[in-house]
Amino acid sequence: MRAALFVTCVNDALYPRTGVAVVRLLERLGVDVDFPAAQSCCGQPQYNTGYRYESEPLLRRTARAFAGYPYVVAPSGSCVAMIREHYPRIGARAAAEGRGNELADLAAGLVPRVYELTEFLVDVLGVTDVGAYFPHTVTYHPSCHGLRALGLGDRPRRLLAAVRGLDLIELPGAEECCGFGGTFAVKNPDVSAAMGADKVRAARATGAEVLCGADNSCLAHLDGTLRRAGAPLRTLHIAEILASTDEAATTTEGKHPR
């Protein structure tokens, strides 16, 4: 099976380990992974801040970069939500503004092939036990776009629960937003920080070693909050846990120090 990795701009620039983990994980599960180098950003920062026109060239680029791949997999719920929920809207608005159907067609061609990582694993590959080994206590924060826009449901938790050695602790108030919200984090810094502090307090109270998520932008906000507080809890993308195996767990890479 052939699939293209949409690593997303945040992971490309700041969290390459997540991208590497997705490649190793999918290859281990027999997927032929490709990384089309023409990809960049889905346009979410522009679109969510109110600059729809600025997001259009990025829609075009993303759709073209992944043309021809039967599956496109991204380790980010919010970027997949951007494509699935908003690309068709951007296309429809452009058409309504008399600018033709180009964007609408590009969106329609891309949307059905795009999957968030845990969706791809559970729904397409049909696996929940990916053969991972991660001997740590973990609590999981489901980011809002994955939870509500994509309806990922218990897929991430099922994947984590099947990891050998992993002790999954429920995060109280898990469904509450962490306060990142893209440009919200800097446009409303006080509310964002207050929400982050509450989320971090709940995560620390679980006593887990690792705060796991499926969206590194939310984790950047939580990790930054934790490190400012000098808290020992570390954040980790779910792909990195699922990529861990017996051999890897003992190497430095398996422990994923950041």
Q: Any contact of residue 40 with another protein (CB under 8 A)? A: yes
Q: Least distance in Å: CB of 129 to another protein?
A: 26
Binding residues among 49-88 for another protein as defined by CB under 8 A: 49-55, 57-58, 61, 86
23 phi-psi bin (left φ>0, alpha ψ -120 to 50, beta other): alpha
Between 182 and 254, whose beta carbon lies closer to another protein? 182
Q: How far apart are CA 10 and CA 25, in angstroms?
A: 20
Which tokens belong to 258? 């950041």
CB of 171 closer than 8 Å to CB of 235 = no
Distance CA 167, CA 244 (A): 14
| Number of shown-chain residues binding another protein (CB under 8 A) | 72
Give the nearer residue to another protein in terms of CB position, either 163 or 217: 217
Decide: 156 and 140 in contact? Cβ < 8 Å: yes
Structure token digits, residue 92? 């429809």
Contact set for another protein, span 146-205 (CB under 8 A): 148-149, 175-177, 179-197
Least distance in Å: CB of 1 to another protein?
A: 15
Identified binder of another protein from the candidate list 20, 124, 169, 249, rule CB under 8 A: 20
Q: Which residue number, 141 or 163, has a Cβ lying nearer to another protein? A: 141
For the bound state, the minimum distance from the C-beta of residue 40 to another protein, rounded and expressed in Å, comes to: 4
By the rule CB under 8 A, 23 interacts with another protein: yes
* Per CB under 8 A, 225 contacts another protein: yes
**Which one among 7, 80, 107, 121 touches another protein, defined by CB under 8 A?**
7
Q: Which two tokens stand for residue 177?
A: 């937003």
The residues, any chain, with a CB within 8 Å of residue 244's CB and separated by 6 or more, are 132, 133, 134, 163, 254
- At closest approach, how far in Å is the CB of 246 from another protein? 22
Q: How far is the CB of 12 from another protein (least distance, A)?
A: 4
**How many CB atoms are located within 10 Å of the residue 156 CB?**
28
Euclidean distance between CA atoms 169 and 166, whole angstroms: 10
Judged by beta carbon, residue 12 or residue 102, the one nearer another protein is 12
Give 129's contacts (C-beta < 8 A, 6+ positions apart): 162
Nearer to another protein, 43 or 213 (CB): 43
Phi, psi values for residue 72, rounded to 5°: -125, 125
23 versus 73: smaller Cβ distance to another protein: 23
Name which of 136, 155, 150, 149 is nearest 240 in CA terms. Answer: 136
CB of 41 vs another protein, minimal distance in Å? 4
Q: Is the Cβ of residue 139 or residue 225 nearer to another protein in the bound state? A: 225
Tokens linked to 72: 């496109």
Please give the residues from 101 up to 140 whose contact with another protein meets the rule CB under 8 A: none
Q: How far is the CB of 130 from another protein (least distance, A)?
A: 20
d(CA 147, CA 133): 25
